[in-house]
Amino acid sequence: MDPATRSDLPVEPRWFRFTAVDERTTLIEEPHVRDLLRANAWHRRGRDRDVLVDCGLGVAALAPLLRERFGRDPVLVITHAHLDRMGSAYEFDEVWAHPLEAVGDPAPGSLRGPVLAAQLGMDWVLPPMLLNARPDRGYDIDGYRVRPAKPTRDLTDGDVVDLGDHTLTVLHLPGHSPGSIALFDARDGTLFSGDVLYDDELLDNLPGSDPGQYARSLRRLRGLPVSRTLPGHGSSFDRPRLHRLIDDYLRHG
């Protein structure tokens, strides 16, 4: 093994950062992951059930921290089966996803940029290492793989995730991937958008992407009464920003 795999990165045992967004919503980040794979996971508290929207890379264990912080295990909803969305999925008993996403047989992934680019068939120039720290001294960068998870419920368009005191509606919005979904709280206009929409360049050229479907999904999204978007990457944004991002893609995409 290359000694740099173990010794060149600093150790950061506090791998996750938790930020309360409101009384029921918590943002979960992995701050020591570099830009391409630095993703948001969202925990939404309900009266009868909690939901976790995506779960990060799986570099460090997430489920025990959620149990300690919130007192119970959430249902995990995977917006799509890319490594930054489902890396920790194997830790959870309840895993819900669209049936077109290969949750049970995911691509292996890598934490080395050139290896990941080759797996994706992309000519991207990525950093040699996609982490800037490691969770413990013995962590093996080259041993990283996305572990399969067993879906316990298929989610399709219009399905409802019932948390007891409020519900989230599943929106099937293909384009970034065949089974990409978002969750929408029609009561307060909150959208958990996954990678369907975020405030940066939208990726429609990955394996399984479809620009035509992406455009149709975004047109549908533009017509919904979304008040705030909690995206899979970057900062949250309001309805006017959502419209500008969609219009820019449709104009130039």
Q: Note the pLDDT of residue 21.
A: 97
User: Could you give the C-alpha distances from 217 to 35, 63, 67, 171, 220, in angstroms and in order?
Assistant: 25, 32, 35, 9, 5
Q: Is the predicted pLDDT of residue 5 greater than 60, yes or no?
A: no
Tens digit of each residue's pLDDT (9 = 90 or more) over 221-241: 999 999 999 999 999 999 999
Q: Which of 101-105, 119-123, 142-146, 229-233 has the lowest mean pLDDT?
A: 119-123
Pairing of strands 95-97, 153-154: parallel
- What pLDDT does 85 receive? 97
Rounded percentage of the chain residues whose pLDDT exceeds 90: 95
The per-residue pLDDT for 8 is: 85
DSSP letters spanning 71-111: SSPPEEEESS-SHHHHTTGGG-S-EEE-TTS-TTS-----S
Distance CA(204)–CA(175), nearest Å, equals: 6
Q: Running DSSP on this structure, what letter comes out for residue 43?
A: E
Q: Can you give the residue range of the structural domain that contains 98?
A: 4-252
* Mean pLDDT of all residues in 32-53: 97
- The pLDDT score that the predictor gives to residue 7 is 55
Phi, psi of 90 (to 5 degrees): -60, -15
- Confidence (pLDDT) at 2: 47
Mean pLDDT of 92-97: 98
pLDDT band (50, 70, 90) for residue 62: very high
CATH number at residue 106: 3.60.15.10
Across 32-36, average pLDDT: 94
Q: What total of structural domains would you count in the chain?
A: 1
Give residue-wise pLDDT tens across range 154-209: 999 999 999 999 999 999 999 999 999 999 999 999 999 999 999 999 999 999 99
CA–CA distance, 233 with 247 (Å, rounded to integer): 19
* Mean pLDDT for the chain overall: 95
Q: Hey, which residues does 11 pair with through a beta bridge?
A: 134
pTM of the model: 0.95
